[in-house]
Amino acid sequence: MIDMDGVSKIYRTEHVETHALSTFTVSVESGEFVAVMGPSGSGKTTFLNVAGLLDVFDGGSYRLDGEDVSRLSDRAMSRIRNEKIGFIFQSFNLIPDLDVFDNVDVPLRYRGVGARERKSLIEEAVATVGLSSRLKHRPAQLSGGQQQRVAVARAIVGKPKLILADEPTGNLDSAMATEILTLLEEINAAGTTVVMVTHDPELAARAPRQIHMLDGRLMDFSRDVPAPLFDPSRPRLDPVLSV
Amino acid sequence: MELGPIFRAVMHQKGRFWLVALEVAITLAIVVNCVNLALDLRGKYDRPTGLAEEELITVQVEPYTEELADEDYRDVVRERDLEALRALPGVEAATAISAIPLSGGGSATGRRARGTEDEPSTTPYFVVSSGAVETLGVELVAGRDFTAAELAMRTEDFEGETTPAVVSRAYAEKVFGRPDPIGMVMESSEADSSEYVVGVVDRMPNSWPDYEEAAELSVLMSGRPGDHRRAYYMVRAEPGALDAVFPMLDEAVLGVEPRRIVEVRTLLDQKRETFAANLALVKILSAIIALLVFVTGLGVVGLTSFSVTQRRRQIGTRRALGATQGAILRYFLVENWLVIGLGLALGVGLTYGLNYALAEAAAAPKLGWELLAGGAVVLWAAGLAAALWPALRAARVAPVVATRTV
Amino acid sequence: MLAYQLRIAANSLRRTPVLSALLVAGIALGVAVATTFVTTFHVMASDPIPGKSRQLFYVQVDNWTPDRPWDRDRPEEPPDQLSWREVQNLLASDLPARQAASFKANLTVHPESREERPFRALTRVTRPDFFEMFEVPFLYGGPWDAAAEAARSPVVVLGEATNRRLFGGDDSVGRTVRIEDRPFTVLGVVAPWAPRPKFYDVTNGALQDPEELYVPLSLTLEMEIRSAGNTSNWKPWDGEFADFLESESVWLQMWVELPTAQARQEYEDFLAAYVHEQQQVGRLTRPVNNRLRDVREWMTVSEVVPPEAKTMLIIGLLFLLVCSINLIGILLGKFLGRAPEVGVRRALGASRGSVFAQHLVECEVVALLGGAVGLALSTVTLRVLNRLFTEGAERELFTLDLTMLGAGVALALAAGIVAGAYPAWRICRVAPATYLKQQ
């Protein structure tokens, strides 16, 4: 499904050049459930952005579902996002002025689906996440967990092949987090590829496969051993503790 | 498109959308009423008078010698003045008249058709000498002009014999109820003055073009206009000869009797002066309308821009979910179109309300629905144009904004 | 506290110069337009002679025909002027402290030098009380007295412009002016005097130019002076000028000065008795319908304020409203953009009220700046209006006086509140915690 080879993403400002992704190579097969882990600043979100065609990359190649996406027009990328990918965001990103029905409806509108078909797809997706009784509610009237479930419904309503989740449980308590994870597992069981970015090791442990990132690179624990954060052989330069 | 969700979102979100709607509503009310007022004021000026306005010059003569107090001497001078004026090259016709049409100064009395008990109608009239119809350029549609014999009759007062009159068609309809009352008589309510109609002209103004109730009511009576204080002549130049004729007139008249103060003006200048305040007001109203549309346009741009900035995360999310840039552009244009439409709907009531208030407090003209509809369409288009820039900005929001946490 | 708030407000404005300029411009535009039209209305509607407007009364007697009213639209009103006979009769009473009947005419002035052509001058034909009643200021000399009036002396009071034209502006008291080819002696020169509106004679519109000459009313008959204003009659007359004076034509304005309520009552009784007496004689045939109106009442009844002035006043204020609403959006954006800072302030103990007050102070600072610019702008617009409406007039018709400056400031402050209340309210409701986490 996801085939990245030597992908790099560089952010340039006047003074600084940041390599958010650095010769990043990774492969995710169709139907997998992958957790992407790493400390903040490791490039997890950048990887997700590139994977989901939310952002362009500067070097390397990327094949999504077998298709080379490096030189696609914005229009084409929008279509792929609409038809093949479903996003779940850390802060839910629901549209506050719309009710649950209209929120889940959004991706279908960009596909030009007829009214009746939309209605049945939406009802199905909302039923899957267990919120059929709240179709007319607005996000402000829902708890955090419920809002994220709506976001999940929105992500799956168009029956995408790939779900990209960016810290989906970051703003939820542990009980709700488990609910969401269960949902993701069910979706994955139905055949959808799920890539989940998280910094929660317990959550990541439930995924069949984990990928670690550091400084924009994929960590292969079989080969590289990361430098310990505290190396007793190297003197600390902390002025407070210096003697 | 997504009219349903857009509509529902607008309805749910109070605040910023309703600001735009309110502003558009008030602007519609003000603009349409100002246009209405300006058209009314301008309309009175542009209304066809029936006179040969482009070719007419007025001559005002005020003697400062005692000799002209004698009526017979005045008659002689008048005839000589007319002779001198008519002899000038480029002059087509000239007449003596008791006041200048469209000038704001003149005389009026009350007349009703003989044999009726109607309220006497306001009857603005001009006493004229020979050549009036030809000079003024008014078109006879029934009957005839005064004969030489009729013009010789003395009419400095209104008592006694019935004298001839040429009336405007509007006047004929009003007093006699028909457009050709030739031979019929109109009289004052005490029946001590009367005139019989010899001719009807298509259109003729009186001295007060701003006085709507007496619009187009005008009567010519034959006689010897002018008194020992003041006399007027109207001179009609041949087409294109006005500028050549103008400077010759005061000399011609002073050549007949120099002990007079002479003032020469074109009828158009006179008309412009009479309407000066109205025309000035039209200019002011136009300036206000332009300013207002500009200010509101800026306001729409500002508010829509702000709304776009507030919703960057939402725009990014939509893009992430598959919206193209075109879809985002369309969304904001449709949303703006909807909000402005709501504002205009609200504005309809406000416009009529303001019109009512202005009519009560300030005698403003009533409003027709066509003007309101036209104004609404224009403002709708202007609002859409104003929203174009913010909508384009919205379309340029990158999808990656959706995943940013700031 | 206010000084602190002002300092913060000034800082805030300095930080966003472009936005602040936009805000100031918005208010300036609205204030300029609104003040302009408030001024035009004020000029036309204000009391032209405060201090005396309640003591000067306009006299109306109904000498019209019983068959129909003088004004069909307002049938209960008597004619707006008096006839010569009425005036002569009424002037015989000694009840009023002062009284003056007058009318305007065009008289020919023959300059000394034979090269200059004679010209027409607008003349007020009146009685000597006129000058004191209406507080007419004099440059040189003074009016004629009652004796000169009774003796029908050929005396004249000049206006300042005519004095300049004929005598170069010198003290011309005692000199001779030929009017209608008769010698008149100059008794006084009036300083520039142009009450707006021209309340003492509202016929033909209240924004007319003042007169340039003043001559005694008693000369009317022998010089056969005819009114240059409105003359109305319901019964045609024939004959000479003397017959005209005896007719029921109305063409004179009469004012009486009655300093106390008692004096007014006495005069009203006198009028009623007079009319009654005339009815007995058979001259007046309509039921008693007198009016004694003070300056303000008379101005209201004669509709001295043109309806267009009211219209433009309403539109001007609405324009300011639109400008203010416009600014709400900008202010919302500006204030909410500073939500993090406000969150910190609230966390440090600022109450909702003080946040609201702070932001309102900022709005009013903008409003005052905008008001100042707007008032400056309105002097320009008023000059444009002057040129449009009073071409070639000696004096500026529309000017900003102290009252109007005050009005402009008040309008600016009001606009500031209209524009700023909602945004200030929105920002003061920011929960402190919400914005503390984000960078």
From residue A242, how far is each of A230, A232, A236, A237, A238 by CA, in Å? 15, 14, 8, 7, 6
Of C106, C61, C51, C32, residue with least CA distance to C373: C32
Residues whose CB is less than 8 angstroms from the CB of residue B35 and which lie 6 or more positions away in sequence, other chains included: B285, B289, B371, B375
What is the percentage of chain B residues whose pLDDT exceeds 90? 54
Instruction: Kindly give the residue spans of alpha helices, DSSP state H, lying in C138-216.
Output: 146-150, 160-167
Query: Where in chain A are the domains?
Result: 30-57+76-219
Residue C29 carries which DSSP code? H
Q: Are both B324 and B345 inside the same structural domain?
A: yes
**Which residues of chain B neighbour A91 with C-beta distances below 8 Å?**
405
- For residue A235, the model assigns a pLDDT of 56
HSE-CB at A15 with a 13 A cutoff on CA atoms is 0
- For residue C241, the model assigns a pLDDT of 86
Residue B139 carries which DSSP code? P
The gap from C-alpha B182 to its chain's centroid, in whole angstroms, comes to: 32
Subunits in contact with chain B (3 or more CB pairs closer than 8 Å): A, C
CB distance B339 to B21 below 8 Å: yes
- Give Dmax (Cα) for chain C: 101
End-to-end CA distance of chain C: 30
Assigned token pair, B21: 């709607």
The gap from C-alpha B307 to its chain's centroid, in whole angstroms, comes to: 44
Q: Are both B57 and B42 inside the same structural domain?
A: no
- For residue A222, the model assigns a pLDDT of 52
The gap from C-alpha A60 to its chain's centroid, in whole angstroms, comes to: 21
What letter represents residue A206's amino acid? R
HSE-CB at C151 with a 13 A cutoff on CA atoms is 8
Q: pLDDT category, A223, cuts 50, 70, 90?
A: very low
Assigned token pair, B77: 């001078």
What CA–CA distance (Å, rounded) separates C345 from C336? Answer: 14
In chain B, the residue whose alpha carbon lies closest to the alpha carbon of A84 is B322
What CA–CA distance (Å, rounded) separates C159 from C186? Answer: 11
Q: Which of B216, B237, B267 is the last residue of a domain?
A: B267
Number of domains in chain B: 2
Residue A215 carries which DSSP code? T
Residues whose CB is less than 8 angstroms from the CB of residue C303 and which lie 6 or more positions away in sequence, other chains included: none
End-to-end CA distance of chain A: 55
- For residue A243, the model assigns a pLDDT of 43
What CA–CA distance (Å, rounded) separates C79 from C100? Answer: 18
Query: pLDDT digits over B317-346, tens only?
Result: 999 998 999 999 999 999 999 999 999 999
Q: Are both B69 and B129 inside the same structural domain?
A: yes
- In sequence order, what are the beta bridge partners of A214? A217
Surface of B (321-380) touching C: CB under 8 A: 354, 357-358, 361-364
Look up tokens 């008794």; give the residue: C187
Subunits in contact with chain C (3 or more CB pairs closer than 8 Å): B
Surface of C (235-274) touching B: CB under 8 A: 235-238
CATH numeric code, A30-57+76-219: 3.40.50.300
From residue C206, how far is each of B212, C102, C107, C231 by CA, in Å? 20, 16, 21, 17
Q: What is the DSSP string of C70-133?
A: S-SSSTTPPPSSEEHHHHHHHHT---SSEEEEEEEEEEEEE-SSTTSPPEEEEEEEE-THHHHH
Q: pLDDT category, A58, cuts 50, 70, 90?
A: confident
Q: In a structure prediction context, what are the per-residue pLDDT tens digits for chain C, which is 439 residues long?
A: 788 888 888 888 888 888 888 889 999 999 999 999 999 899 888 888 888 889 999 999 998 988 888 888 888 899 999 999 999 999 999 899 999 999 999 999 988 877 788 889 999 999 999 999 999 999 999 999 999 999 999 999 999 999 998 988 889 999 999 998 889 999 999 998 888 788 899 888 777 788 999 999 999 999 989 999 999 888 777 778 888 898 889 999 999 999 999 999 999 999 999 999 999 988 888 888 899 999 999 998 988 888 888 999 999 999 999 999 888 888 888 888 788 888 887 777 778 888 888 889 989 999 999 999 999 999 999 988 888 776 555 566 788 888 899 999 999 999 999 999 998 988 888 777 666 655 4
- In sequence order, what are the beta bridge partners of C83? C250
- In sequence order, what are the beta bridge partners of A211? A36
Report yes or no on chains C and A touching (3+ CB pairs under 8 A).
no
Q: If you average pLDDT over every residue of chain A, what do you get?
A: 84
Q: Are both B25 and B125 inside the same structural domain?
A: no
CB distance B136 to B56 below 8 Å: yes
- For residue B157, the model assigns a pLDDT of 47
Q: Which of B235, B267, B299 is the last residue of a domain?
A: B267
What CA–CA distance (Å, rounded) separates C165 from C163? Answer: 5
The whole-angstrom distance between B245's CA and the closest CA on chain C is 23
Residues whose CB is less than 8 angstroms from the CB of residue B334 and which lie 6 or more positions away in sequence, other chains included: B1, B2, B3, B6
What CA–CA distance (Å, rounded) separates B284 from C316? Answer: 11
Assigned token pair, C275: 């009319």
**Which residues of chain C neighbour B253 with C-beta distances below 8 Å?**
none
Q: Which of B238, B267, B296 is the last residue of a domain?
A: B267
Nearest to A54 among B2, B10, B320 (CB): B320
Residues whose CB is less than 8 angstroms from the CB of residue B214 and which lie 6 or more positions away in sequence, other chains included: B108, B122, B124, B206, B208
C177-211 per-residue burial string, b: 16 or more CB within 10 A, e: under 16 = bbbbeeebbbbbbbeebeebbbbbbbbeebbbebb
Q: Are C29 and B292 an interchain contact pair (Cβ–Cβ within 8 Å)?
A: no
What letter represents residue B90's amino acid? G
CB distance B110 to B189 below 8 Å: yes
Q: Are both B258 and B284 inside the same structural domain?
A: no
Does residue B272 lie within any of the structural domains?
no
Residues whose CB is less than 8 angstroms from the CB of residue B86 and which lie 6 or more positions away in sequence, other chains included: B93, B94, B131
Q: Does C137 touch chain B (CB under 8 A)?
A: no
CB distance B93 to B236 below 8 Å: yes
Residues whose CB is less than 8 angstroms from the CB of residue A101 and which lie 6 or more positions away in sequence, other chains included: A122, A126, A135, A136
Q: Are A91 and B405 an interchain contact pair (Cβ–Cβ within 8 Å)?
A: yes
In chain B, the residue whose alpha carbon lies closest to the alpha carbon of C120 is B261
What CA–CA distance (Å, rounded) separates C109 from C99? Answer: 28
Query: For chain B, which ranges sit under pLDDT 70?
Result: 1, 153-161, 405-406
Residues whose CB is less than 8 angstroms from the CB of residue A14 and which lie 6 or more positions away in sequence, other chains included: none
For chain B, what's the residue count? 406
**Which residues of chain B neighbour A166 with C-beta distances below 8 Å?**
403
**Which residues of chain B neighbour C238 with C-beta distances below 8 Å?**
157, 159
Query: Where in chain C are the domains?
Result: 2-48+307-435, 62-289
What CA–CA distance (Å, rounded) separates C156 from C92? Answer: 23
The whole-angstrom distance between B324's CA and the closest CA on chain A is 6
**Which residues of chain C neighbour B296 with C-beta distances below 8 Å?**
322, 326
Nearest to C315 among B158, B277, B288 (CB): B288
**Which residues of chain B neighbour A49 with C-beta distances below 8 Å?**
400, 403
Reported as type and span, the H/E element at residue C5 is helix C2-15
ipTM field: 0.83
Provide the domain limits for residue B388: 3-46+277-403
Of C89, C79, C85, C72, residue with least CA distance to C237: C85
In chain B, which residues touch A (CB < 8 A)? 1-2, 4-5, 8-10, 12-13, 313-314, 317-327, 398-400, 402-403, 405
Name the phi and psi angles at C157, rounded to 5.
-110, 130
Q: Are both B287 and B363 inside the same structural domain?
A: yes
- For residue C391, the model assigns a pLDDT of 59
In chain B, the residue whose alpha carbon lies closest to the alpha carbon of A49 is B400
Q: Are strands B194-201 and B163-168 parallel, antiparallel or unpaired?
A: parallel
